[in-house]
Structure 1
């Protein structure tokens, strides 16, 4: 009798109105044990997964609210392990130059954008590697279109800016101005400022841009969040936030108004870093906001030749890029982070930067500990093969962005010698040695669409299926491993593998319904997959608008 009563109580627990059943799905989920599980029915209670199973499972919950998935493919919500949320939100309202193929095209877009503008014009996305001459542009190119108000256009990777003469004038810079350590000012043949400022030299200009209001930042968060959720991203790691954003994030978390889950890294360049660290780690009750790491920059980017290399750039002799911090400074930042219980996530693209960062981690681990904090190297793009095993030994997570390989492949072949590319974008090598790879996009440097990243990880080809065999294809991932990197791998990198990343009992019911079967669609169509619905914590957060029938 006692058993019967307890069984009835157990069943009644799952028959109240807040239990939901999603059925008739073509479901897939990675699992913590490593197996890929298929299912057709998902049971949710209080926003968390109760169970997944076959069609019979639905009948066990007759009073639950039910949703027919109509045989759509269901996957766990995708996690982007490296993006810039506020940058993306701003980008959606600023001048977008992504994909432009000439200075003339940019001038045309700038002229249209500048109409009726009377403040600073901000834009992003230019990439001289897409232009015929592949040369850096000049302030004079912008002056031809806009000369009375300042213009600041960030390169696609964010590691260089192109400005007009008005911006240089307002910043009171002259030919005598010297670049700070970790930065470079490009000059013309006469020594005059050309209008290009790289890495830490950007601050000579950007420090003069009016600061955004709190409402501006909050609006950018909302816009970026809505965009990400529409792409099937239910959680994102924000790689470097300032104090203003830190405050707004916590306010929005406490209000329950965050548009998606965010794992935020404090920016090591913010003057208020120590005060933010002293405030301690932060997490809300529903796992929408987590702050427990610091983002540190070691070098620049490959496209602007700021990535720090052990040997010369193949296309620029006697130049080896830029270290933005010394090893001593890196060790100080690591020690500071660890002393407050924060992990250190360090941007390193070039082989020299990766080597120095690994040395810095190793030294600090020996002196003060911190090896178990799941520290990361963000990008880990060009790594000397001998340094790759050190990631495993030092328990460093390679946080990598698959789309960078397919965006960079032609440029990388020009910038680097073959010997420098031996450990480049080496996802498969990292996986084989037992490292957990956390995948992301680095939006708005790249497009945020995670299916672009999944496609790149699997094929190492562009959208025209080139190169035919894939670029350095031995480093490509299987469909299952790629999905795992964008789900459980990313969750692990945020200490959340028991809460997110798969549809297993007790985890948050974050999932998406998509228009094609990710595991069966022809590989060349993976990047065309679109999201029909996005659910976070068992609640529908996005539904694709129905197309109106043509008359």
Structure 2
């Protein structure tokens, strides 16, 4: 008898904490959740146990659980944890530790920030990100000579805000062994001086002429970047992020951290198609851990560049650069080869395509491969789908391609897009509502650190198509506005669907993980200008509070 009791006790001790966890009732809340039925439901009480939702309902529901731990939500708004369907987690973490040039309005301001950063940094290479020539007088690229005025003794490599161009100093070009004889690689462009020498700006695949010489990050540095990014994302109410393109080292880090049960948030990671160990990672198989903290079952493919650096591949000339139609980083046959490789191993293909030509070529490649080998049910995605020929939009639905889009891109790009593109080219631009109305699911994200990771900025952009000053008054190309319910669904349940996770996360329905946030604004009914200013008060992951906002002093 004593032996049986001892065995029972030992078995209890070996059970994970979540299995023994007490039922928790969070009451006095104003809850919203999308549902699989397509509705936005409201509730006043949420009941969780073992890290999952076991019930939700009206205020009186809390009386059905007299022995539960009770938490008074004090009338706060409760939402499902938000999902960013397109970001770069390690890049965000590194960005938080590197020179930040976001918002710099001149070369002189960049130089001032660079000088100050260099004075307190002992790093052999100075790395930064965030410059945008569209904010400068003249809106033209600067040169290595401009950076040399501020730092000339160490190599400087500064990424454009979209990550599709770098601006470097002369020391960086010297260490890379570049001179006037160097030629632009396929899928890349070297901006040159009037004398024909590299100016210091390298676009898309030309970046590799420089970046191949930057010392690799250590395992410790990658882990630190992951933790910093995780803390930041949780503070913004993001409980799950889709990491758009990871390398082999990050793949190893994520798997080990998942094994050790210490990932900071849920991660759906896409393998980088350009990584030289792609096949090694594919052959290792899909990753889907029991706690749903890590999923790896897709590959990130790049088709073209970005609009800001005129690398997005267009069907017609750029309105502000005649004779130029952008850059395809892979041709259609190369894309078909990559897709076939992905599908062979059961992985989805998520392809970056911004320009209308790139989107068309990518759709053609998907269609051809589907006919030959299948793969149409793998929830393949086009990342960004920013500028799409109106005749190609219905093909997304026909080919079951998910448009993975970033609403904040429209409001940050709108002035530039009007300069870069003609009215006919813009007819299918940032066309979220058109996609939804044809029955496509839009997976929403931010593309952090290209944009700020704050999802409430994205929600605001989706429902207003305005800047934070409320301009333009009716919104930019307002026929593509989303309702508040549609926008919330794009950042929750539809983003989860795009990762095969709609029955695990994305809404607060029975049996799903209890990932939720408490916020200070009723984003469904508050004046619209308050939406982007929403503050996250608490973030819960699998029924555990992982972030709590500290009161202002």
Partner of 1:62: 66
1:480 aligns with 2:480: no
Partner of 1:232: 237
For residues 115-514 of structure 1, the aligned pairs below 5 Å read 115-118=119-122, 119-514=124-519
Q: Is the 8 A contact 2:31 2:78 kept in 1?
A: yes
Q: 2:521 pairs with 516, 519, 523, which one?
A: 516
Q: 1:540 pairs with 514, 524, 545, which one?
A: 545
| C-alpha distance in 2 between matches for 1:281 and 1:15 | 27
CA deviation string 1:408-429 (max 9, x = no partner): 0000000001010000000000
| C-alpha distance in 2 between matches for 1:547 and 1:463 | 23
Give structure 1 regions of 4+ aligned residues with deviation exceeding 6 angstroms. Answer: none
CA deviation string 1:197-220 (max 9, x = no partner): 000000000000000001111110
Q: How far off its partner does 1:520 sit? A: 1.3
CA deviation string 1:480-517 (max 9, x = no partner): 00000000010000000000100000000000000011
| C-alpha distance in 2 between matches for 1:446 and 1:440 | 10
| C-alpha distance in 1 between matches for 2:21 and 2:350 | 43
1:499 partner SS: coil
Per mean C-alpha deviation after superposition, the further-off stretch among 151-160 and 57-66 is: 57-66
| C-alpha distance in 1 between matches for 2:120 and 2:506 | 46
Partner of 2:94: 90
Q: How far off its partner does 1:144 sit? A: 0.2
Q: 2:24 pairs with 1, 20, 23, which one?
A: 20
CA deviation string 1:69-102 (max 9, x = no partner): 1000000000000000000000000000000100
1:533 partner SS: strand
Q: Is the 8 A contact 1:17 1:65 kept in 2?
A: no
Q: Is the 8 A contact 1:16 1:63 kept in 2?
A: no
Q: How far off its partner does 1:547 sit? A: 2.1
CA RMSD of aligned residues (A): 1.0
Partner of 1:102: 106
TM-score between both structures, scaled by the size of structure 2: 0.96
Q: Is the 8 A contact 2:21 2:50 kept in 1?
A: no
Partner of 2:51: 47
CA deviation string 1:347-393 (max 9, x = no partner): 00000000000000000000000000000000000000000000000
Q: Is the 8 A contact 2:162 2:308 kept in 1?
A: yes
1:239 partner SS: strand
Partner of 1:80: 84
Q: How far off its partner does 1:16 sit? A: 7.2
Q: How far off its partner does 1:240 sit? A: 0.1
| C-alpha distance in 1 between matches for 2:321 and 2:537 | 47
| C-alpha distance in 1 between matches for 2:21 and 2:205 | 56
| C-alpha distance in 2 between matches for 1:207 and 1:176 | 18
Task: Tell me the matched-pair count.
Answer: 535
| C-alpha distance in 2 between matches for 1:437 and 1:80 | 12
1:184 partner SS: strand
Structure 1 spans left out of the alignment, 5+ residues: 1-13
Q: Is the 8 A contact 1:16 1:64 kept in 2?
A: no
Partner of 1:8: none
| C-alpha distance in 2 between matches for 1:138 and 1:16 | 62
